[in-house]
Amino acid sequence: MSHSARFERIRRNDPLKHLNIGVLYGGPSAEREVSLQSGEAVAQALSACGREVHRVILDGTFNVAIARDLEIDVAFLALHGEFGEDGRVQLILDAADIPYTGSGPDASALAFDKVLAKEALERNGILTPAWMSYDRLEIARLGGPEALDIAPPVVVKPASSGSSLGVTVVRHADQAPAAVLRALRFGDTILVERFIRGRELTVGILGDEPLPVIELNVAGEFFDYQAKYEDDRTRYVCPADLSPVETNRAQATALACHRALGCRDVSRIDMIRDEAGLFWVLEANTLPGMTSHSLLPKAAAAAGLGYGELCEYLLCRALEHAQTPSV
């Protein structure tokens, strides 16, 4: 059954009717501006669908008492970065007994920490580029960024951040110290990952099924923050120009990653197809962007699900989980 057909079956019962829907967005992270765009787009779409929408713009003071005072029946999470994708908001909403979209606190925290996520992927036999991690204290103990044993080409990135903030492709050894310092602006631990040359792909997971594969063609070196949100030269090919066999492999890899991390209802898995045809998982996003440039809505549209329908589908899934007894 297609995603659109499954959504129509759910919507016939209209479980969202008369419910107060809270769209939570903003937050204190470096990705606040992206979250504000995502949240406003979601709020407008749900309002256009005739839903009762309450905009909840967060800073960092959200707690169980505040959550209960909102008097909402279900929450759509349009948060990105810390205090959104790291499991803390999910813990608060669980304690307040408010259903919410996306993964629970454990999967959110696991996927957000790139070191823990890498370890989980490797345990499950999922290809991911070779890596090392360093925390701020270890870097200082070794003698600073200049003393790290970094052999290009590599990608240096924060261990807990999104939207490609603080990410640098290091092609020459003398670029490494600046790349380390840049990554440390977004957290206390960095990841140094082997650079994989190839085609940049992403696969959204909706429910427990993969969406069409998207290929990213960027004007710059890689799909960085500017390419994601600001550069109109970025081109998205959906579905990606892959053979049926490769499409199935990319989607199977994404679904395996989604399950290995314990994700629920929605994720977006970023990967590289290398020159030998292997698919390498870079990272998983448990609360994918919902802006006009974002990839999950593009993939859902290719599968026959409009933006408003996508938002409603995720809310319906959240309500289904709330009605299912824990085992």
Instruction: Tell whether 207 and 235 lie within a shared domain.
Output: yes
pLDDT of res. 239: 97
pTM of the model: 0.90
DSSP string, 63-122: -HHHHHHT--SEEEE---STTTTSSHHHHHHHHTT--BSS--HHHHHHHHSHHHHHHHHH
- Domain annotation covers residue 321: no
Instruction: Tell whether 182 and 298 lie within a shared domain.
Output: no
Residue 327 pLDDT class (50, 70, 90 cuts) = very low
Question: For the segment 304-324, what is each residue's pLDDT rounded down to a tens digit?
Answer: 999 999 999 999 999 998 887
pLDDT of res. 230: 54
**264 catalytic per annotation:** no
**What percent of the chain has pLDDT above 90?**
77
Question: For the segment 109-164, what is each residue's pLDDT rounded down to a tens digit?
Answer: 999 999 999 999 999 999 999 999 999 999 999 999 998 988 999 999 999 865 57
- Is the per-residue pLDDT at 325 higher than 60? no
Domain hosting 62: range is 3-102
**285 catalytic per annotation:** yes
**52 catalytic per annotation:** no
- Domain annotation covers residue 239: yes
- Is the per-residue pLDDT at 326 higher than 70? no
Instruction: Tell whether 185 and 241 lie within a shared domain.
Output: no
Report the CATH number that the domain containing residue 188 is assigned in CATH.
3.30.1490.20
Q: Which of 204, 285, 307, 309 is catalytic?
A: 285
Instruction: Tell whether 168 and 188 lie within a shared domain.
Output: yes
- Domain annotation covers residue 222: yes
Instruction: Tell whether 93 and 120 lie within a shared domain.
Output: no
pLDDT of res. 14: 87
Instruction: Tell whether 122 and 268 lie within a shared domain.
Output: yes
pLDDT of res. 160: 85
**163 catalytic per annotation:** yes
**134 catalytic per annotation:** no
- Domain annotation covers residue 185: yes
- Amino acid identity, position 282: L
Question: What average pLDDT does the structure give for the chain?
Answer: 91
pLDDT of res. 27: 92
Q: Which of 84, 104, 162, 289 is catalytic?
A: 289
Instruction: Tell whether 72 and 27 lie within a shared domain.
Output: yes
Calpha distance 223→96 (Å, rounded)? 37
Structural domain tally of the chain?
Answer: 3
Report the CATH number that the domain containing residue 223 is assigned in CATH.
3.30.470.20
Instruction: Tell whether 120 and 246 lie within a shared domain.
Output: yes
The DSSP element (H or E) to which 52 belongs, if any, is strand 52-58
Instruction: Tell whether 188 and 290 lie within a shared domain.
Output: no
